[in-house]
Amino acid sequence: MPSFDIVNKVDAQLLDNAINVARKEITNRFDFNGSKTEITLDKKAMIINVLTENDMRMDSIIDVIRSRMIKQHLNPLCLDFGKEQVASGFMIRKDIKVREGIDKDVARTIIKDIKDSKLKVQAQMMDDQVRVTAKKIDDLQAVISLMRQGSYELPLQFVNMK
pLDDT in tens, 24-45: 999 998 988 888 899 999 999 9
Give long-range contacts, CB 8 A cutoff, 24+ apart: 35-38. Answer: 36/91, 37/61
* Distance in angstroms (rounded) separating the CA atoms of residues 99 and 131: 19
pLDDT of 33 reads 87
In percent, the amount of the chain with pLDDT more than 90 equals 57
CATH of domain 12-98: 3.30.70.990
CATH 3.30.70.990 domain range(s) in the chain:
12-98
- Alpha-carbon distance of 30 to 140, in angstroms, equals 50
Enumerate the CATH 3.30.70.860 domain ranges in the chain, comma separated.
3-8+101-159
CATH dotted code for 3-8+101-159: 3.30.70.860
